[in-house]
Chain A
Amino acid sequence: MTVVVTGAAGFLGRHVVAALRHAGHEVRAIVRPRTEVFDLGWDSGVQVFRADLRTHRDLAHALEGAAAVVHLAAAMSGNDFSRFSEIVLATERLFDAMSTARVKRLVLCSSFSVYDWLAARGTVDETLPLAPHVYECGFYAAGKLWQERLARRRAEVEGWQLTVLRPGFIWGPGNPCPPSSTGRSLGRLHLVFGPRRCPPFIYVENCAEAFRAALENPEAIGATVNVVDDLPISAWRFLGAALHSGELRGVRVPVPLVFLSPLVALAHRAGQAVLGPRARLPSFMVPVGYAQGYRSLRYDTRKLQALLGQRALISFEEATRRTFAAKVERALPAAEASNREEAATNS
C-alpha cells in the first residue's frame, strides 16, 4: 500500500521509511522544504513530498491516493510553548488534509509522557491513566496529549481506523543516549538516578518495526500500544555502554533512589514553602517530573509482542553495536575527505 509518513527524515522517521520499504510498501515521505534527503539512501519506492505541515497550502495533495498516514512529525526544538503550538497546528492541518483526501487509516506516534506517572506502581501497561494536569508535565507532553485527543475525536466522527503507539525513550544512531533518561550530567560527571532502574528504552529500529507492524496488523486498529524493548536494561548498564564506546566521556556516579526520592520531596516542599505556590524548580525536583523520569517501574510489553507476532527484535548488544559502529562510519568519510585535502595541498 501507499503510506504517507510525516517527519520522514527525522530520527525515527528514516527508520520507519526503511521498515515500510523493506516490507514492500510505497512510501510518500513528507519532509521539510530544505531537508537534505540524498544521504538517507531512499530508493525509487520513496516519493519525497516537501512541505511544512504548519504552512503548506495543499497538504491534501500529498495524501491523494494514500491508504494510510503514519504521523511522526513533532517539533523538537524551540521554547516549550512553541513546541506545543507547532505540534498541534501541524496535527490540525494534517488531519484536515486527511479528511479532504479521504484517508481513513492513521498510525499516530504519541509518547510515554502522556501518562499520569504519579499513579504508576509496579508494572505499567496501557491502562495507566493519562495525566490529569496536562500542562504541569511540560508542553511537549501537552502537545502529545492534544494530538491523541484530536486523533480520537476524528476517528470517532469520521470513522478513521486509528492506532496510537506510545514509545518510551527512543535511542540509536544519532541519539545514543536520550537526554535525562538516566539522570543528570554535570560536565563529565554523569549522575545515574536509580542505577538499577530500567528506563523504558526502545531501540529506534525496533520502534520503527512496531510502526510497520501496527500498519499491517488489522488487530492494531483501535488499539493503543506502549513501545518498549522487552529486555529491561538498567540505567547504569545503558550509560556504561555509551561511555565504553567513547560516545560520551566522563564517569558514572550512582545516586540510589532511596536517597534521591526523599531529597526531591524535601526540596519540593521547601521550595513551595519558601518560594510560594508558583515555584518553578528543575523538572526532576517536581513530583510529576520526578515520577515521569525516574520511578523504578517495569513495563508490560505483551500488547507490543502481540502486535509484532513472531518477529524478533534487535537485541541490546546488537543495537549497541549498530549505534556505535554508525558513529565510526560517520567519522570515516570526514577523515577520508581530510586526507584527500591534505594530499591535494601537498601536491
Chain B
Amino acid sequence: MSQNLQDSPVGNLDLDLRCPVDTRVLALMRTMACALAEHVGFDDEQVAQVEMAVDEACANVVRHAYKHLGVSPDLPDDSADEHTRRRCQLHARIQVGEGFLRIIIADSGIGLCNTAPGVESVEDFQQRGGGGGLGTLIIRNFMDEVHYDFPEQSGTILTMTKYLKSTARPADQGGPETIHR
C-alpha cells in the first residue's frame, strides 16, 4: 500500500504519544511506523528501515533509560514499585510531511550518553561476541538524519528523519525539534 501524500485525505500529520516503558509497546510502535512510512510513499525497503530504526530507538528507552530506577526488562519485575513504573514514560512525536517522516523519541531517564557506548561497526560488534550497542548503529545506517540531544535536566531526545529519495530536504525543517515533557 504505497500512497502519495498529496492524494491522501489525511495530509501532513503531527502525532504525539506517551507510552509505558514496556517491551510489549515495541510491536505497536513498529506497526504505526510502517503505516506512516507507507503513507509518505517509501518503498518496502525504506519502510523496513524506518520500522527497525523506530524499534531500536524505543527499545533503547525501554531497556536503558530508566534502569537506574529499577525499570527495565533486564531487571526483575519487583525492582521498582508501581508508582515509579508509571512515572517512566516513552514520549514519541511523529511528523509526516511532504516527502519526509520525522520521528522524535524522548525520555526523562538517565541519558543515553551515560549508558554503555554503542558499537562503531559490525566488526566491533563481532569482536565483542554480540551483546548490546548495535541499535544505535542501525539507526545511523537506516535514517537520513539522526540527532541526539541530552537536556541538562535528564533524558535523551533522539530526532531521526527519513526523506523520499526524490525530495529536497526542507531547509526550515532541518534542525532538531524541541520536545516538551
The judgment on whether A and B are partners is no
Chain A residues with a Cβ under 8 A of chain B: none
